Structure formats: C-alpha cells, structure tokens
Amino acid sequence: MSKKITSPVLYDIIRTPVVTEKSTLLGEYNKVTFKVAKSSTKGDVKRAVEALFNVKVTNVNTLNQDGKIKRFRGKLGVRNSYKKAIVTLAEGNTIDVMGGAN
C-alpha cells in the first residue's frame, strides 16, 4: 500500500546530500548518499527521491549514524546523530549533488 507524499513533506524526508570523499566515490556505482529524517523508512526515501529528482530508484540502504564524541578547547562535546540513506539509481539516471556550474 503506497501512501502519497506531498511536496513540502519531501523536503522533510530528504534533508541534505552527503558530500564526502567516500560518498563521491560511490557515484561511480550510481549511488547517492543523503541525510534523511530519523523517522523515515526506506519506502519513504525511495518515493521522495523519485519525486524530487525524477529518477528511478532500484535500492535504498539506511543506517543510523551515532554522533562522535569530540574534544574542543579541552571540553567534551558530542556531534549530532543522524540517519543516512544510500540510494542506488537505475542505469542511465543521475543526480548532480554538487550543483556546480557547467
């Protein structure tokens, strides 16, 4: 049973793209990484990516990333925890996460 997702909710599910060296290398395998809402499911992420970027998604892998404990000027702090989704796109589909000039 597929539920309809409205446009403002799509941006609540897909928060930001993850641009790291590792996620950039995954681009060679038609994979894109996003930070997503903690309450979102794989189906929600799939529908949101397909609606926002007009691409076909073949697979979604999610993981909960715990915040690291870091020290800053002698004081302990904790980075925020977040949920990450690695989205595999169908052959021929691409998403330009960098959004740079052509």
Using one digit for the tens of pLDDT, what is the confidence trace for 47-79?
999 999 999 999 999 999 999 999 999 999 999
Single-letter residue type at 8: P
Q: What is the pTM of this model?
A: 0.84
CA 87 – CA 7 distance, rounded (Å): 19
Backbone angles phi, psi at 51, to 5 degrees: -75, -40
> Under CATH, which number does the domain 7-89 receive?
3.30.70.330
SS3 98: coil
pLDDT classification of 97: cutoffs 50, 70, 90: confident
At residue 3, the pLDDT reads 64
CA 7 – CA 61 distance, rounded (Å): 23
